[in-house]
């Protein structure tokens, strides 16, 4: 298949200058020229590989000046920014490296001048595009109106008079559409107020693309769907060639061939947007030539000459093949068919547990590598390579497939951030919010670092060419719990035991996970003794044995029991403390009606006030106090009402101290009377009289 590439493909001057400046800033950062952060105000280029290389090197991307840390060194991309952004950066003490494209800067000056003369501004371009936002920003503060239009039809929507207006264009806007707009408003705007600010490179690129598409059977446009100039090229080519395809890299080109969209003998045209690196264009060209059936020598001689020149020496940003030859503590060395070997930081291999480095060295294994930088010195050429950047696309595709198919993947937790943790899959970061780590409180996030976690990819966002991926382990747990819950509800029955985990402890009880379903164990079911809070018995995370007391499948509620029958103080009480047995206990509480005596821990018996003394007592406190040890007889047991009645009187009655003193006084007087009585007895005198005298003592004793 004859393959022809547009000569104006790839980086434009503005993008090439900005990318070159960014790489130089990274080198200057290493040498100590910059002390603060390196910040890219907006994405420098619509290309993931280049962006990743710059961010890996140390750049941070901020979308607005308000997000930039004070004292940073800030790179302004080729699109330019509104004056307000410069003001904010200057107030923060930032160093500004302005890479605004000269063509864009020219538009800024035109708009500044017109706005100061109180002329309204019309911009042809894509509303919201960074370049258009920057252009419009230069009209602010002058009291003029601004309109952004993208077609002839939108002219009628302009709300202000056209007579006192100027017309400028986004540099990458379609030249054909711009000319049509000019033709429709030329009677209302003077020619001196119409400024054709479309970049000459853009015009040449669009003209060549149109000519190439008209002469081709298949047209490949290399670039990003988020790129304005790439979309303009795509529209131009599709209007002239039915089989026009937008591709981002060589993998897309191979798929188009594999799907049969390119046939033997087809004339293939290739063009590329202003943000497409030369290395990607060359890879696509090589791929199409590898599928060549009958190559038109005249069309491809120039391409092969360029390819041979490219292969003659390794160039930065290229993807090349090489053989692993050796390694030391810091680097792995690769023969990339250059005068000097390239080297890859060894940590890139340490992060890939599936790669057998020793075997690769022994077998001189061939791998694809990305050329990050080339430096020439007195000691020779130093070529820094990266394996991980080549692996990035492969792993990215695997993650995307897992996201689309909801397939779990394993990630290694590498870092802790403000609200979660970071998992790594082949060097690609996946954010896991702390609420998605698992069911319940995740605990200390730092404890997860180094662990391998199985997750489901819940977000895969490539908008604005910044890959944002999120994952969740909790959703997998939820699926597992759902399956277990179905099994539990299919087999649940009263009295069935489960091993559960305490999930939470509200004041009224404990919620316990019995394997996918939470049941409530009320405070009254936690302990035989009275408790105020469940935390007196259990802690969150405890593994416990519980049983089902009741359940309702409709409301999905389960009541659980935790306290065991054998732990009940009244368990088998009639055999342990039979009626009639003599027991020993301690007085623990006194009431008007009796004394409570503790027989065992949590087992109290009541001795009624009438069963304490042989005398009549008004209150047990007359003869007892808390802490007294007593002996008593068990006279009644009522297990159903949890009552035990005992009698102290039947074993060792406790009479009031006052009565004992009166008895002692009576006994002290008795010897005098007895002496008078006993004398006649010894003289065989009658005994009736002493008996009569002693009789009154009985009431006194009572």
Higher pLDDT, 333 or 291: 333
Give φ, ψ of 333 to 5 degrees: -100, 140
Mean of pLDDT over the chain: 84
Alpha helices in 473-594 (DSSP H): 474-491, 573-576
Is it the case that residue 81 has pLDDT exceeding 90?
yes
Give φ, ψ of 255 to 5 degrees: -65, -40
Give the Cα separation of 588 and 356 in Å (integer): 75
For the residues of 19-44, what is the DSSP string, one character each? HHHHHHHHHHHHHTS--S-EEEES-S
Higher pLDDT, 290 or 621: 621
From 222, 117, 84, 233, select the one nearest 173 (Cα to Cα).
233
> What was the pLDDT predicted at 602?
82
> What was the pLDDT predicted at 702?
29
> What was the pLDDT predicted at 230?
87
Give the C-alpha distances (Å, rounded to integers) separating 297 from 5, 65, 98, 288, 305: 14, 53, 45, 14, 12
Provide the 8-state DSSP code for 63: S
Token pair listed for 639: 């297990």
pLDDT in tens, 634-666: 999 988 888 999 999 999 999 887 555 455 555
Q: What is the 3-state secondary structure (H, E, C) of 349-416?
A: HHCCCCCCHHHHHHCCCEEEEEEEEEEEECCEEEEEEECHHHHHHHHHHHHHHHHHHCCCEEEEEEEE
Q: Which residues, in sequence order, are bridge partners of residue 594?
A: 608
Give the Cα separation of 325 and 551 in Å (integer): 69
Given a contact cutoff of 8 angstroms between Cβ atoms, the answer to whether 653 and 631 are in contact is no
Is it the case that residue 313 has pLDDT exceeding 90?
no
pLDDT in tens, 654-702: 988 755 545 555 555 554 444 333 434 333 433 333 333 333 333 333 2
SS3 295: coil
Average pLDDT (459-475) is 85
User: Given CA atoms 296, 299, 301, 305 in this order, what sign does their dihedral have?
Assistant: negative
Q: Which of 48, 131, 208, 341 is catalytic?
A: 131
> What was the pLDDT predicted at 433?
94
Given a contact cutoff of 8 angstroms between Cβ atoms, the answer to whether 275 and 227 are in contact is yes
Q: Hey, how many other C-beta atoms are within 10 angstroms of the C-beta on 511?
A: 18
Q: Is 131 part of the annotated catalytic residue set? A: yes
> What was the pLDDT predicted at 464?
62
Q: Which residues, in sequence order, are bridge partners of residue 145?
A: none
User: Which domains are seen in the chain, by residue range?
Assistant: 3-8+201-312 (3.40.1010.20), 13-100 (3.40.50.11270), 103-198 (3.40.1010.20), 319-386 (2.40.50.140), 391-477 (2.40.50.140), 492-563 (2.40.50.140), 573-655 (2.40.50.140), 658-701 (no CATH)
Half-sphere exposure of 50 toward its Cβ, with a 13 Å CA cutoff?
26
> What was the pLDDT predicted at 222?
92
Give the Cα separation of 621 and 619 in Å (integer): 5
Q: How confident is the model at residue 377 (pLDDT cuts 50, 70, 90)?
A: low
Highest mean pLDDT among 156-165, 197-206, 308-317: 156-165
């Amino acid at each position: 298949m004859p393959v022809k590439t547009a000569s104006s493909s790839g980086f434009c001057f503005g993008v090439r200058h900005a990318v070159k400046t960014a790489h130089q800033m990274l080198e200057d950062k290493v040498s100590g020229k910059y002390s603060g952060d390196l910040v890219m105000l907006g994405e420098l280029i619509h290309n993931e590989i280049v962006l990743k290389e710059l961010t890996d090197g140390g750049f941070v991307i901020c979308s607005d000046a308000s997000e930039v840390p004070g004292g940073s060194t800030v790179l302004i991309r080729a699109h330019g920014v509104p004056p307000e952004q410069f003001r904010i950066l200057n107030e923060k003490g930032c160093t500004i490296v302005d890479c605004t494209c000269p063509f864009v800067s020219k538009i800024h000056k035109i708009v500044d001048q017109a706005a100061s003369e109180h002329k309204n501004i019309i911009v042809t371009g894509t509303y919201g595009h960074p370049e258009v936002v920057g252009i419009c920003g230069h009209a602010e503060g002058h009291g003029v109106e601004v309109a952004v239009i993208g077609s002839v039809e939108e002219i009628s929507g302009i709300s202000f008079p056209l007579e006192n207006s100027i017309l400028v264009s986004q540099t990458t806007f379609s030249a054909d559409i711009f000319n049509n707009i000019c033709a429709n408003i030329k009677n209302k705007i003077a020619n001196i107020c119409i400024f054709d600010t479309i970049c000459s490179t853009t015009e040449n690129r669009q003209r060549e693309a149109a000519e190439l598409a008209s002469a081709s059977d298949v047209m490949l446009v290399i670039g990003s769907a988020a790129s304005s100039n790439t979309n303009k090229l795509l529209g131009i080519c599709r209007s002239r060639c039915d089989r026009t395809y937008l591709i981002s890299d060589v993998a897309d080109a191979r798929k188009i061939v594999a799907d049969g969209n390119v046939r033997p003998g087809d004339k293939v045209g290739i063009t590329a947007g202003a943000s497409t690196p030369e290395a990607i264009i060359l890879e696509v060209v090589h791929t199409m030539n590898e599928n060549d059936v009958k190559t038109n020598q005249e069309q491809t001689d120039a391409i092969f000459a360029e390819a041979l020149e490219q292969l003659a020496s390794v160039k930065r940003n290229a993807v090349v093949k090489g053989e692993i030859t050796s390694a030391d503590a810091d680097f792995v060395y690769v023969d990339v068919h250059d005068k000097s070997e390239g080297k890859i930081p060894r940590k890139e291999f340490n992060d890939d547990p599936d790669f057998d480095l020793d075997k690769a060295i022994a077998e001189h294994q061939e791998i694809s590598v990305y050329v990050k930088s080339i430096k020439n010195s007195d000691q020779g050429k130093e070529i820094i390579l990266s394996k991980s950047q080549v692996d990035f696309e492969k792993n990215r595709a695997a993650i995307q497939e897992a996201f689309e198919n909801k397939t779990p993947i394993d990630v290694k937790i590498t870092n802790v951030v403000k609200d979660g943790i970071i998992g790594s899959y082949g060097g690609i970061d996946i954010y896991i919010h702390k609420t998605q780590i698992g069911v319940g409180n995740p605990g200390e996030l730092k404890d997860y670092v180094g662990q391998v976690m199985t997750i489901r990819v819940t977000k895969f966002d490539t908008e604005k060419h910044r890959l944002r991926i999120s994952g969740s382990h909790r959703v997998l747990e939820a699926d597992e719990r759902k399956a277990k819950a179905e099994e539990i509800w299919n087999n649940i029955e009263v009295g069935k035991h489960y091993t559960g985990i305490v999930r939470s402890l509200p004041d009224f009880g404990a919620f316990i996970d019995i394997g996918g379903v939470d049941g409530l164990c009320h405070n009254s079911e936690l302990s035989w003794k009275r408790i105020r809070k469940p935390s007196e018995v259990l802690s969150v995370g405890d593994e416990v044995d519980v049983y089902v007391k009741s359940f309702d499948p409709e409301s999905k509620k389960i009541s659980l029991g935790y306290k065991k029958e054998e732990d009940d103080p009244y368990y088998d009480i009639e055999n342990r403390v039979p009626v009639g047995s003599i027991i020993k206990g301690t007085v623990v509480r006194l009431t008007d009606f009796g004394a409570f005596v503790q027989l065992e821990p949590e087992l109290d018996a009541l001795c009624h006030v009438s069963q304490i003394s042989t005398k009549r007592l008004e209150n047990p406190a007359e003869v007892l106090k808390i802490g007294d040890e007593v002996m008593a007889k068990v006279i009644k047991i009522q297990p159903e009402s949890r009552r035990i009645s005992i009698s102290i009187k039947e074993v060792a009655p406790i009479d009031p101290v006052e009565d004992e003193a009166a008895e002692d006084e009576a006994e002290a007087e008795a010897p005098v009377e007895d002496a008078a009585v006993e004398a006649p007895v010894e003289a065989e005198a009658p005994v009736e009289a002493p008996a009569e005298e002693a009789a009154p003592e009985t009431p006194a004793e009572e």
